[in-house]
Amino acid sequence: MAKKQVVSTTINGQQEEFLCEPRQTLLEVLRDVLDMTGTKEGCSNGNCGACTVLLNGRPIDSCLVLAVEVEGAEIETIEGVAPAGGLHPLQTAFLEQAALQCGICTPGFIMQAKALLEQKPNPTEREIRFYLAGNLCRCTGYDKIVRAVQQAATAQQEVQV
Amino acid sequence: MRDFDYAAPESVQQAVQLLSQANGSGRPLAGGTDLIDQVRMRRHEPDLIVDIKRIPELNVLEIGADGFRLGAAVPCWKITSNEDISRQYTALGDSCSIIGGVQIQNRASVGGNLCNSGPAADSIPSLIALEAVCVIMGPDGQREVPVAEFCTGPSTNVLKPGELLVELRFPPRPAHSGSHYRRFIPRNEMDIAVVGVGVSVVLDESGENFVSGRISLGAVAAKPLFAEEASSLLAGRPVNDETLAAAAAAARAIATPIDDMRGTVEFRQHVTGVLTERVLQRAIERARSGEPGSLHP
């Protein structure tokens, strides 16, 4: 068996060191080694986006990243999104718009939408739909998710004004 | 997933040495969006994965008077967010804006898309239209192969064991030139091309005549095609419906697609002609205006 390697990263602002085999994906390490099970496994082939996390600020499918690749990188997962004792505007909006049913896709959608709003604070509906094209949801039909992202965008802009 | 060793060398020489020593059981890793899934599905069974993203030469992205150099590991997002590429090598920007969704574009590289050598790969018709050349390093030294001659069949190419694609080199873009890539898919996003067409045209100063043109087709043969005859039918001709129709007919004539759930042979051949005309029209608009417009059609 290939030798395990030590990997140092920053996850949600915290320095983390973990031991993993080269064949373990970032998704497996997050869930099974670090017990951060907020990130979900869907298709495990890069189609569904359920495992989306931010790698150096950009959303990626963590099922398509080897954990050994993230040496020195900064990772942000769903566990780092809510401020202490509260919710992120996207989380509030997803609840208020009922933008989830089973919830498996939700952490991925929140991470992807967070990256979108950081890049484009006031996206059009078309921009939202294209940016979220790599995230699949079998429950909502997407409209509620799009409305939640629009609500969060408005809420974030009101806070800034 | 299958057990393998992992190395992340910091020079081309080390990478080539590692791949040569692995004797055919090593695979280079750039964005991993094809490779990691293929290892999981046992389409590849490597004993060694060589991460090439720490090698400076494979991260080069330079546009100058000599043309454009693109390191094989540069991810799609760096291409779509680069204004010089969007302006000058627009077809490549078009391709990179529709390879998978945002998550995939943040990892996947053009070099990887080429080396994966899928017949429907979205970047390859653009590379062929823009006359890109592969710079390959191997145990016996460096060689160059035009992208039009790189793929040999579905998932196969000219790379020998131990060889590594280092970069893609594009010639400078002439004045009054424009390019475009578009594919037909039954969805709005995130699908595999039923037909893909990449085009580059050079017009004369009046914008009314072609100086030259290059047309390339994806998803209609065992490998991406350079439509040589269709391209030659543009050179020196006036920009009009007749010229476009003649080129489209010649492009359609070399399409030998498969039948599958995405389209029949007849449908794909028909779409090849229609798309060739439409992609030419967009490339002409870009050549005339000097403006790329939005990347996504």
Judged by CB atoms closer than 8 Å, whether chains meet at A5 and B6 is answered as yes
Q: How many domains does chain B have?
A: 3
Q: Name the one residue in this structure whose structure tokens are 């390879």.
A: B99
Same domain, A48 and A17: yes
- Whole-number Å distance between alpha carbons of A109 and A121: 16
Do residues A97 and A37 lie in contact, with contact meaning Cβ atoms separated by under 8 Å? no
Smallest Cα distance from A60 to chain B, Å: 4
Q: Which of residues 63-102 of B touch A (CB under 8 A)?
A: 77, 100-102
Q: Name the one residue in this structure whose structure tokens are 């080694």.
A: A33
In degrees, rounded to 5, the angle at the alpha carbon of residue B178 between the alpha carbons of residues B67 and B157 is 60
- Whole-number Å distance between alpha carbons of B104 and A59: 9
CATH of the domain at A71: 3.10.20.30
- Specify the length of chain A in residues: 161
Name the pLDDT band for B296 (thresholds 50, 70, 90). low
Smallest Cα distance from A32 to chain B, Å: 15
Contacts of A154 (CB under 8 A, 6+ apart): none
Same domain, B22 and B64: no
Final residue of a domain: which of A48, A63, A80? Answer: A80
Same domain, B60 and B166: yes
Q: For residue B261, tell me if it sits in a domain.
A: yes
Tokens of residue A57, six digits: 């600020």
Same domain, B237 and B158: no
Nearest Cα to B224, choosing from B127, B136, B133?
B127
| Domain carrying residue A68 | 5-80
Contacts of A30 (CB under 8 A, 6+ apart): A11, A36, A37, A39, A53, A62, A77
Q: For residue B118, tell me if it sits in a domain.
A: yes
- Whole-number Å distance between alpha carbons of A89 and A105: 18
Q: How many CB atoms lie within 10 A of CB B206?
A: 10
pLDDT at A66: 98
pLDDT at B292: 83
Final residue of a domain: which of B145, B170, B195? Answer: B170
Tokens of residue A29, six digits: 């390490």
**Model pLDDT for residues B40-84, shown as the tens digit of each residue:** 999 999 999 999 999 999 999 999 999 999 999 999 999 999 999
Same domain, A136 and A97: yes
Would you call A90 an interface residue with chain B, using a CB distance cutoff of 8 Å?
Answer: no
How large is the average pLDDT for residues B236-255? 98
Do residues B43 and B6 lie in contact, with contact meaning Cβ atoms separated by under 8 Å? no
Same domain, B207 and B222: yes
Share of chain B above pLDDT 90, in %: 94
Same domain, B145 and B194: no
Q: Among B100, B103, B189, whose Cβ lies nearest the Cβ of A130?
A: B189
Do residues B225 and B272 lie in contact, with contact meaning Cβ atoms separated by under 8 Å? no
How large is the average pLDDT for residues B2-19? 98
| Domain carrying residue B64 | 56-170
C-alpha distance from residue B131 to each of B67, B170, B173 (Å): 11, 6, 10
In degrees, rounded to 5, the angle at the alpha carbon of residue B247 between the alpha carbons of residues B243 and B253 is 145
Identify the segments of chain A with pLDDT beneath 50. none
Judged by CB atoms closer than 8 Å, whether chains meet at B4 and A23 is answered as yes
Q: For residue B272, tell me if it sits in a domain.
A: yes
Chain A residues whose beta carbon lies within 8 Å of the beta carbon of residue B41: 45
Do residues B169 and B69 lie in contact, with contact meaning Cβ atoms separated by under 8 Å? yes
Do residues B79 and B56 lie in contact, with contact meaning Cβ atoms separated by under 8 Å? no
- Whole-number Å distance between alpha carbons of B154 and B259: 15
Q: Could you tell me which residues are beta bridge partners of residue B71?
A: B167
Sequence-ordered alpha helix ranges (H) in B166-264 = 228-232, 241-253
Would you call B190 an interface residue with chain A, using a CB distance cutoff of 8 Å?
Answer: yes
Q: For residue B150, tell me if it sits in a domain.
A: yes
Judged by CB atoms closer than 8 Å, whether chains meet at A133 and B102 is answered as yes
pLDDT at A1: 78
pLDDT at B217: 98
Smallest Cα distance from A19 to chain B, Å: 14
Do residues B257 and B263 lie in contact, with contact meaning Cβ atoms separated by under 8 Å? yes
Answer whether residue B118 shows pLDDT above 60. yes
Same domain, A65 and A111: no
Q: Name the one residue in this structure whose structure tokens are 């991406």.
A: B224
If you count residue pairs, one on A and one on B, with CB atoms under 8 Å apart, how many are there?
Answer: 93
CATH of the domain at A144: 1.10.150.120
Q: Strand B5-7 relative to strand B48-51: parallel, antiparallel, unpaired?
A: parallel
Same domain, A93 and A154: yes
CATH of the domain at B43: 3.30.43.10
3-state secondary structure of B202: strand
Judged by CB atoms closer than 8 Å, whether chains meet at A60 and B107 is answered as yes
Tokens of residue B40, six digits: 């999981």
Nearest Cα to B15, choosing from B180, B159, B154?
B159
Q: For residue B199, tell me if it sits in a domain.
A: yes
Q: Which of A26, A27, A64 to mutate to test the interface with B (most CBs of B within 10 A)?
A: A64
Contacts of B135 (CB under 8 A, 6+ apart): B142, B144, B165, B166, B167, B168, B169
**Model pLDDT for residues B175-190, shown as the tens digit of each residue:** 999 999 999 998 888 8
Angle between helices A143-160 and A106-119 (to 10 degrees): 40
pLDDT at A159: 78
Q: For residue B297, tell me if it sits in a domain.
A: no
Q: How many domains does chain A have?
A: 2
- Whole-number Å distance between alpha carbons of A14 and A74: 9
Would you call B33 an interface residue with chain A, using a CB distance cutoff of 8 Å?
Answer: yes
Do residues A130 and A74 lie in contact, with contact meaning Cβ atoms separated by under 8 Å? no
